[in-house]
Amino acid sequence: MEPAERAQAARDRVPRIDPYGFERPEDFDYAAYEEFFSTYLVILTRRAIKWSKLLKGSSSVQKSMTVKRYIRKGVPLEHRARVWMGVSGAQAQMDRNPGYYHRLLQGERNDSLEEAIRTDMNRTFPDNIKFRKSADPCLQKTLYNVLLAYGHHNQGVGYCQGMNFIAGYLILITKNEEESFWLLDALVGRILPENILRAWKLVHDYYHQASRELQGQAAGARLTQTFSRLH
């Protein structure tokens, strides 16, 4: 079969829309993707079987070295929401606060918050068919609710550009509005700040260590210049 024929055959076999709802670009190499995926599918299947055995008979995901190792290799799409909810602490938070999410949506209105969120609705994943207004159901309403609830929940953050893409992806994975809210809270409220603070501390420590070394080098250079003048 000629390369052009192979490319067309692959295009006919591979869906134009990926499992998350994103349209593949015009220059997408269907033949290369099909060749890669035919091999990678064996690995994905093996991982999925391991995850299914690990999670079987358990209502929650317990942190362990095995779970950590499995996560680093990748969580299968069918288990991703459950695993993310468990290891992030989002499931525990949701269980401890029944009805809280819906109360946030029924709270006092904030016009500036609502307007900021609406501005980014059509900008969120324009290449994803599930976020288009023509979609049924359209995930823009779900996304709006999640971001609005989080803006009321964490008024110190409110809504910032970029949060729409994080929340949108969480919605695609969980397919659940409330779970997406609690995962967003875990990320923005706990996980990211901890990592940012840890990174800041590393930068801070490195900066001071480098400053001391540079000061030492400068002092050494001045001493060298002084001794050279003496000789």
Report pLDDT digits (tens) over 117-160: 999 999 999 999 999 999 999 999 999 999 999 999 999 889 98
| pLDDT value at 56 more than 80 | yes
| DSSP-derived 3-state class of residue 128 | strand
Q: Do 149 and 181 touch, CB atoms closer than 8 A?
A: yes
Model's pTM, two decimal places? Answer: 0.80
* Banded model confidence at residue 161, pLDDT cuts 50, 70, 90: confident
Decide if 81 is inside a domain: yes
Beta-carbon contacts of residue 188 (< 8 Å; ≥ 6 apart):
150, 154, 157, 163, 166
pLDDT attached to residue 61? 87
pLDDT at res. 1 = 63
- Beta-carbon contacts of 184 under 8 Å, excluding residues fewer than 6 positions away, are 146, 150, 163, 166, 167, 170
Q: Which domain holds residue 4?
A: 1-88
For residue 206, name the pLDDT band (cuts at 50, 70, 90): low
pLDDT at residue 199 in the model: 59
pLDDT-based confidence at residue 230 (cuts at 50, 70, 90) = very low
- Provide the pLDDT confidence category of residue 3 given band limits of 50, 70 and 90: confident
Asked, for residue 37, whether it belongs to a domain, the answer is: yes
Residue 10 has pLDDT above 50, yes or no: yes
Q: How many domains does the chain have?
A: 1
Residue 103 domain flag: no
**16 domain-assigned:** yes
Does 33 map to a domain?
yes
Q: Is 214 contained in some domain?
A: no
The pLDDT, as a whole number, for residue 202 is 56
What is the structure's pLDDT at 226?
Answer: 39
